[in-house]
Chain A
Amino acid sequence: MNRTALTPTETWALPLAGLATLLVAWTAIASSGLVPSQFLPTPLAVAQRFAELTTKPFAGYTIQQHLLSSVGRYLMGFGLAAVIGVPLGLMMGWYRWLDDIVSPLFEAIRFVAPIAWVPFAALWFGTGIGGPTLIIFMGAFPPALINAYRGARFVEPRYIEAAQTLGAGSFRVITQVLLPASVPSIVAGLRISAGLGWQSLVGAELIVASSGIGYLLVKGQSSISTATVMSGMIAIGVVGFAIDAILRRVEAMIHARQGR
């Protein structure tokens, strides 16, 4: 294998060349007239459209307002998944009987793609906040539960024994031994949850919502405005990236505090 180190010039020139190739090819195809600009706008046209969306409402709202309603739903679905998933996971890690009862049901439901809950979500909770929230929850819940469970199961037995010797009951073992010891695993799980939740939100809003960034995409699609669709995709990517960056920060802070 030829893993020779890059020269200093190559270190900055090659990534730049990669991006430039993408942009140049895109611009060339878009402005060559081979494809109608309605289907493939130039990068510049997309940027202009994005700027326009921040001031002029599309599908009822500006792009910031769409994002705001998406993030609201997202925080609710993700929050519920964390608040239910983490304690349940810890308890399943402690009580064997609970593990034996819940695991088979959980495994059966987990195979169903979160997005397949869309019809029931709409039927049960409507298309406002409730329906999309359920779908986000379904996407974000499994990793939150599984990682809390694994964290609790792999706590060193001597910690638990020490706590029990000193007279701690089940409740104190869970909250004061299992929970702190499995924090790294829980946070790693929540990072996966956050990503899957965001992805499920987009899917939910494509199908059942009447506002939000996914709704903006659908409206852009039905009015065949590729520039609008691409602007929405960029916004989704930026927010998704920001969520992951924040959680990565939290993860690093926790690892630093625990001295790992």
Chain B
Amino acid sequence: MRERGGHRIAVALASVGATLVLWYVLAATGVIPASRFASPKEFWGALQQVNGPGYADAKLWQHVLQSCKLVLEGFAVAVAIGVPLGLAMGGSRRFEAFFNPIFLLLRPIPPLAWIPLAIVWLGLGDAAKVMVIFVAAFVPSVINTYTGVRSIEPYLIEAAQMLGVGRLAFVGEVIVPAALPHIFSGLRLSLQAAWTTLVAGELVGALRGLGQVLNAAAQDIYPAMILVGMVFVGLCGGAMTWMLSVAEKRAMPWRAA
């Protein structure tokens, strides 16, 4: 098994390495025209440019910070409202019956379709983006929390009630921990949706942020900078997912085998 793992890593490295070499060769020989895609050298140059003097009115770290900040703001608000609402809908049939039709109505509308509405209402600034991210992240956190509560084994609930647990302790020590795996898979979906939506929102119009880098590079027909923007969209998205999975392990130590 270990041998197999080592073999896999070697092939993976070789595969990525070969792709990079192929990229270099194709760009150097002109098979990929410079107007359509960047060479590794141009990519490095663009990275230096956005990192040092800056591009699209800001330096790289400022763009990254701006994008991450907005995502975390919208995500935090969505989770702070969505998870309690999901708990309430899972806990009370009346609550569920009242809110469910509203969800059924709103759910088929993709979060990206809210972007124009947010711009009409709030303009091109940060507020519109936070609104759209909120919409994107809200629905998965409610639905998965709700599913999590509904899938708790009844005997857990009965045992806790028989032992005369208080209302607050019941929610905090029985319901939430038992629903936590579902809640976290909801948060993961929320975060992905939030990130995609933010990039789209910034592409439609923004003053700063990774989407704006992509936008400016597209208008300047600057393939190397487009590539830099995409790489950082991927890196930030990956980093956020990773942080969430660390938080997940911390929050549920009993699941770590």
Binding site for B on A (CB under 8 A): 1-6, 10-11, 14-19, 21-22, 39, 97, 100-105, 108-109, 111-120, 122-124, 198-199, 202-203, 206-207, 214, 217-218, 220-221, 224, 226, 229-230, 232-234, 236-238, 240-241, 244
Contact = CB atoms under 8 A, between A and B. Distances in A.
Interface in B207-240: 211, 214-215, 217-218, 221, 223, 226, 229-231, 233-235, 237-238
Contact of B15 (A10, A16, A101, A116): A101
B255 interface: no
Given A15-B100, A206-B115, A100 B15 contact: yes
A108 to B, nearest CB: 7
Contact of B11 (A100, A203, A206): A100
Contacts of A232: 113, 116
Nearest to A102: B15
B12 A104 contact: yes
Q: Which 10 A-B pairs have the closest CB atoms?
A: A119-B218, A221-B116, A14-B97, A199-B110, A100-B11, A112-B234, A104-B12, A241-B108, A111-B234, A237-B109
B111 interface: yes
Interface string B9-22: 00111011001000
Contact of A101 (B11, B120, B226, B233): B11
10 contacts: A1-B175, A19-B102, A19-B105, A105-B16, A113-B233, A120-B230, A202-B110, A202-B112, A203-B200, A234-B109
B196 A115 contact: yes
A218 B205 CA distance: 11
A10 B7 CA distance: 62
Interface residues of B, number: 61
Contacts of B8: 100
Nearest to A219: B116
Contact of B234 (A108, A220, A224): A108
B101 interface: yes
B237 A111 contact: yes
Contacts of B7: 100
Nearest to B195: A113
A210 B160 CA distance: 60
A16 B238 CA distance: 42
A15 B93 CA distance: 11
Nearest to A119: B218
Contact of A221 (B119, B170, B241): B119
A109 B36 CA distance: 19
A102 B91 CA distance: 45
A80 to B, nearest CB: 20
Contacts of A224: 120
Given A112-B234, A118-B203, A233 B36 contact: no
Contact of A116 (B101, B113, B204, B214): B214
Contact of B120 (A1, A5, A120, A226): A226
B97 to A, nearest CB: 4
Given A18-B98, A104-B12, A118 B218 contact: yes
Contact of A112 (B101, B120, B204, B237): B237
A218 B120 CA distance: 10
Contacts of A14: 94, 97-98
Nearest to B18: A101
A27 to B, nearest CB: 15
B91 A113 contact: no
B123 to A, nearest CB: 11
Given A3-B91, A18-B98, A112-B237, A202 B113 contact: yes
B99 interface: yes
A14 B214 CA distance: 47
Given A10-B94, A103-B12, 17 more contacts: A1-B91, A16-B101, A100-B12, A101-B15, A111-B238, A112-B234, A115-B199, A119-B214, A123-B223, A203-B200, A206-B204, A226-B121, A229-B120, A233-B113, A233-B114, A237-B113, A244-B108
Contacts of B93: 3-6
Given A14-B97, A101-B15, A113 B226 contact: no
Nearest to A225: B120
A220 B211 CA distance: 22
Given A100-B8, A104-B12, A108-B16, A207 B121 contact: no
Contacts of B29: none
Contacts of B161: 1
Given A15-B97, A113-B199, A233 B109 contact: yes
